[in-house]
Chain A
Amino acid sequence: MTDNIIKLTAAKIAGKIAAGELTAVEVTEAHLARIEAVDEKVHAFLHVDREGALAQARAVDEKRARGEKLGPLAGVPLALKDIFTTAGMPTTVGSKMLEGWIPPYDATLVKNLKAADVVILGKTNMDEFAMGSSTENSAYGPTGNPWDLTRIPGGSGGGSSAALAAYEAPLAIGTDTGGSIRQPAAVTGTVGVKPTYGGVSRYGMVAFSSSLDQGGPCARTVLDAALLHEAIAGHDPLDSTSIDAPVPPVVEAARNGSVAGMRVGVVKQFRGEGYQAGVVQRFDESVELLKSLGAEIVELDCPTFDLALSAYYLIAPSECSSNLARFDAMRYGLRVGDDGTRSAEDVTALTREAGFGDEVKRRIILGTYALSSGYYDAYYGSAQKVRTLITREFEKAFEEVDVIVSPTTPTTAFPIGERADDPMAMYLADLCTIPTNLAGNAAMSLPCGLAPEDGLPVGLQIIAPAMKDDRLYKVGAAVEAAFVEKWGHPLLEEAPSL
């Protein structure tokens, strides 16, 4: 019974609850049991809110018993990345700095989830402050990839992607600053979407790099991602950068997948050195598939994309150096060395020394340097110019094509520990995802097969213009349906059982 429930899609679960075939409590209990059974191995969760989740589930069942209309995701369990504030529930952002901090307020996204009667199971593991591509930078230990527990589940949102792939939750929330939703989706054989910047409120999402951060949906199917997208998106007066326009019709698009007559761009810069053979092979097959489904393929040359990684590693650390300045041991979180003899300055220094991990310190130092007077123009200023050029290059490309496709990440999941001491190698994991963050447009990753050499999932990235998020779902649904037909089952069924 449990096994049947946890393999259901979110859409199916909601349908069965609405039809009275399952109760929300049954569904929640099945997932809590699954977490109990496998999370010791996977370590997707930092905090499981058993009581809170069951209370939410009971409320859904009561609502149904009263004959009230249920939303399209009512009673569906979800794993929430531990970067969103939750009133009364710990929020650590994967850092020792916030160990034990209980926020006094809910993020707007969390409010939206609650309003949609989505059941929040708990908070998922992540690279500290969302800085990383493997979840190894979590202060609370790494997360295993359910396809091979000795490998990384991607990052920074590795907890969320692993929870989906391990059937601990049918839905999850991630955040994507340079690829933190899409790269984990790619290496775990799941679906992840970075909405248009401003599409989902950032209020209550602990900031890493404000101009790049974007929360978004993670799921096992394109339709589930669309349903979740619709539940969390929309204008928020508490976030000045939130877009005041209707949410693109993502669910409708996901229900009507098609690429017939569409022009699909393939960017020259998204291949070459550093790309694993199996990844390139599956990508090329995806392009052939698109062609066979009626899409026209257009070759694109976007030379500024080669500069994206460098620009990103100036802008993101600069903003982070300022965003993380507030962690000073004065008002919340960790405080070290306050024994009555030390000055406030010393306590702040000791706390930051103990509370921040190496990658976070590295980026704070990098950003502080890049913003310093005398260096600002050469570093931060130049990076912003590159960002403008990349945005323009996307705009030009989208005059020619409806969407762009690429591999999501150059390789499949690498072994835990392999790149831990080589930040540059780690940064390369985000080569294909970063340009989208810089330009602020929308992108999705969905499974396109297993790399022949290691049998691990490969992700296909679809990129759409800003506020055309629906195109991701239209194309994604068509590709997903064609692949499932070809394989005879969803890719995740090929994962070893835990």
Chain B
Amino acid sequence: MTVTELLSYEAALAEYDPVMGLEVHVELGTKTKMFCGCSTELGAEPNSQTCPTCLGLPGSLPVVNAIGVESAIKIGLALHCEIAEWCRFARKNYFYPDMPKNFQTSQYDEPIAFNGYLDVQLEDGEVFRVEIERAHMEEDTGKSLHVGGATGRIHGASHSLLDYNRAGIPLIEIVTKPIEGAGERAPEVAKAYVAELRELIRALDVSEARMDKGQMRCDVNLSLRPHGTKTFGTRSETKNVNSLRSVERAARFEIQRHAAVLSSGGTIVQETRHFHEEDGSTTSGRIKDNAEDYRYFPEPDLVPVAPARAWVEELRGTLPELPRVRRNRLREEWGVSEHDMQSILNAGAVDAIVATIEAGADAASARKWWMGELARSANEQGVSLEELAITPADVARVSALVAAGDLNDKLARQVIEGVLAGEGTPDQVVEKRGLKVVSDEGALGTAVEEAIAANAAIADKIRGGKVAAVGALVGAVMKATRGQADAARVKDLILEKLGVSEG
């Protein structure tokens, strides 16, 4: 293999302005395929999840999956798109052995959603708006396994195995408009966009969007133009870039490669390129001249999709808080820095922390456990935080025990270790291992009295019936006890002292 000439990143950006287009395919998490009733479960015996329709047997016909359409509309709405009042599927005709009908049923010039945008936040907090061209529905192909060759590609293989379990799984393709003006931050914008989109898809609960499982795949289209010019340069299309980091690296590599070609007087060939995880490089795939002709025409076996406006509005009403908005809200509620929030995000700990706080823990301790002890444990086991044998309620209980002074940090870590080892609930582990420390009600009582004395006005309000104000006093006591007290117990003690009962 010849070594690809690269210009340094700084030199490339000094001379050229990158323009990107990102195409993301998302496999929807519907129970059944897009056009038949076969299961979409991953990991089944090859070809066990097939029927006449997804095998393209003669005589078979497609029927549109209503949940697939609903998911597509939700994605469209969350991306601030317009939703088509009437749209059709088309046939994209081309030959490949893992395409059962030798045409892909896809939307072409009538996408279900179009003209939207997604605001993405870069690591320093800057918000960049990525315009969305369209989001459309289509079906996945089968999988080919090329056997006997060195590369796993069809070239040089002795034979190929075909698995049609994936054929017909619903896909949503989300295409951006040309992303201009990102300059040197283009690779970062690409990564942030895909990350944000992934969060969004998960928040909508339409797919797990696991890039490592191929549920979300990204094509990075990139071209350069000299600074100050308007016309786009010739683009390359780097296919199937399958991690966030790779998206950033692929964009960076292509910027440097294009710049090297252009600045030495060469021309960029319009082609698809393969990305290589090992060294972050791309190599030439298939030349794409304009002769490629998919002979699209409206799919005559399906009737048009015409989502009623009332239904679209109903779906709009069910949209969750957008991930970026939610993230900023949580960051403020938890009082953490952008940087720390990013770490929480990267660790996939947001939901666990939220659930732990909902179960009664304070933000600081919830974050401390999930980002410390538990993240380490998940890392060692090679699993995600959700897959750990501990629930947010367990973590909340441990932090309550700590707050109440029943456990200190060291003992708490042992309790967590016990829960992870399957020894039972935190209380059972405490019991079995005999880990409880003696709590000091006397010290707590003193802290309560001090807090009441220092906040006489608030205490009066509470006595006057404004029980909700007790939070401020609890906060004061917690601060005084450095969070080692049991907040619920503190609250009870305060109310008791003030002669007020809740309700």
- Find chain A residues with CB under 8 A from B56 CB: 326, 331
Size class of the contact patch on chain B: 20 to 34
Which B267-296 residues have a C-beta within 8 angstroms of A? Answer: 293, 295-296
Which A303-362 residues have a C-beta within 8 angstroms of B? Answer: 318-319, 321-322, 325-328, 330-332, 344-345, 348
Is there a chain B Cβ closer than 8 Å to A93's Cβ? yes
Q: Which of A104, A372, A373 has the most CB of B within 10 A?
A: A373
Q: Is the CB of A241 within 8 A of B303?
A: yes
Query: Assuming the A-B contacts A103-B57, A239-B61, A330-B97, are A371 and B102 also in contact, with contact meaning beta carbons closer than 8 angstroms in the complex?
Result: no
Q: Is the CB of B301 within 8 A of A331?
A: no
Which A203-221 residues have a C-beta within 8 angstroms of B? Answer: 203-207, 209-211
- Find chain B residues with CB under 8 A from A84 CB: 59
Q: Which of B56, B102, B296, B300 has the most CB of A within 10 A?
A: B300
Q: Is the CB of B59 within 8 A of A203?
A: yes
Residue of A nearest to B158 (CB): A340
Q: Is the CB of A107 within 8 A of B59?
A: yes
Is there a chain B Cβ closer than 8 Å to A130's Cβ? no
- Find chain A residues with CB under 8 A from B52 CB: 85, 103-105
Q: Please, how many angstroms separate the alpha-carbon atoms of A238 and B301 in the complex?
A: 11
Is there a chain A Cβ closer than 8 Å to B323's Cβ? no
Distance to closest chain A CB from B299 (angstroms): 8
Residue of B nearest to A374 (CB): B293
Q: Is the CB of A322 within 8 A of B103?
A: yes
Is there a chain B Cβ closer than 8 Å to A414's Cβ? no
- Find chain B residues with CB under 8 A from A91 CB: 58-59
Which A281-309 residues have a C-beta within 8 angstroms of B? Answer: none
Is there a chain B Cβ closer than 8 Å to A202's Cβ? yes
Q: Dominant SS at the B interface?
A: loop
Query: Assuming the A-B contacts A210-B300, A240-B302, are A85 and B58 also in contact, with contact meaning beta carbons closer than 8 angstroms in the complex?
Result: yes
Q: Which of A93, A104, A238, A371 contacts B297 (CB 8 A)?
A: A371
Q: Is the CB of B59 within 8 A of A204?
A: yes
Residue of A nearest to B91 (CB): A322
Is there a chain B Cβ closer than 8 Å to A98's Cβ? yes
- Find chain A residues with CB under 8 A from B62 CB: 240
Q: Is the CB of A322 within 8 A of B61?
A: no
Beta-carbon contacts of B148-172 to A below 8 Å, as 1s and 0s? Answer: 0000000000001010000000000
Q: Please, how many angstroms separate the alpha-carbon atoms of A368 and B293 in the complex?
A: 10
Q: Is the CB of B97 within 8 A of A328?
A: yes
Distance to closest chain A CB from B301 (angstroms): 5
Q: Please, how many angstroms separate the alpha-carbon atoms of A64 and B80 in the complex?
A: 64
- Find chain B residues with CB under 8 A from A211 CB: 300
Q: Is the CB of B160 within 8 A of A344?
A: yes
Q: Is the CB of A372 within 8 A of B295?
A: yes
Q: Is the CB of A85 within 8 A of B162?
A: no
Is there a chain A Cβ closer than 8 Å to B100's Cβ? yes
Q: Is the CB of B59 within 8 A of A328?
A: no
Query: Assuming the A-B contacts A211-B300, A240-B64, are A206 and B97 also in contact, with contact meaning beta carbons closer than 8 angstroms in the complex?
Result: no
Q: Is the CB of A206 within 8 A of B301?
A: no
Residue of B nearest to A345 (CB): B95
Q: Please, how many angstroms separate the alpha-carbon atoms of A246 and B297 in the complex?
A: 31
Residue of B nearest to A347 (CB): B97
Is there a chain B Cβ closer than 8 Å to A237's Cβ? yes
Q: Please, how many angstroms separate the alpha-carbon atoms of A348 and B102 in the complex?
A: 12
Distance to closest chain B CB from A438 (angstroms): 13
Is there a chain B Cβ closer than 8 Å to A140's Cβ? no
Q: Is the CB of A318 within 8 A of B101?
A: no
Q: Is the CB of A240 within 8 A of B58?
A: no
Which B300-315 residues have a C-beta within 8 angstroms of A? Answer: 300-303
Distance to closest chain B CB from A201 (angstroms): 9
Is there a chain B Cβ closer than 8 Å to A275's Cβ? no
Other A-B pairs beyond A107-B59, A205-B59, A326-B100, 17, CB < 8 Å: A84-B59, A85-B52, A85-B57, A85-B59, A204-B59, A238-B63, A241-B302, A318-B297, A321-B93, A325-B102, A326-B56, A326-B58, A328-B102, A330-B162, A331-B55, A371-B296, A373-B295
The 5 closest A-B pairs by CB, nearest first: A325-B102, A371-B295, A210-B300, A211-B300, A204-B59
A-B contact pairs, 25 of them (CB 8 A): A85-B52, A91-B59, A98-B58, A101-B58, A104-B57, A105-B57, A105-B59, A204-B59, A210-B300, A240-B61, A240-B301, A240-B302, A241-B301, A322-B91, A322-B103, A322-B297, A325-B95, A325-B102, A330-B97, A330-B162, A331-B55, A345-B95, A371-B297, A372-B295, A373-B295
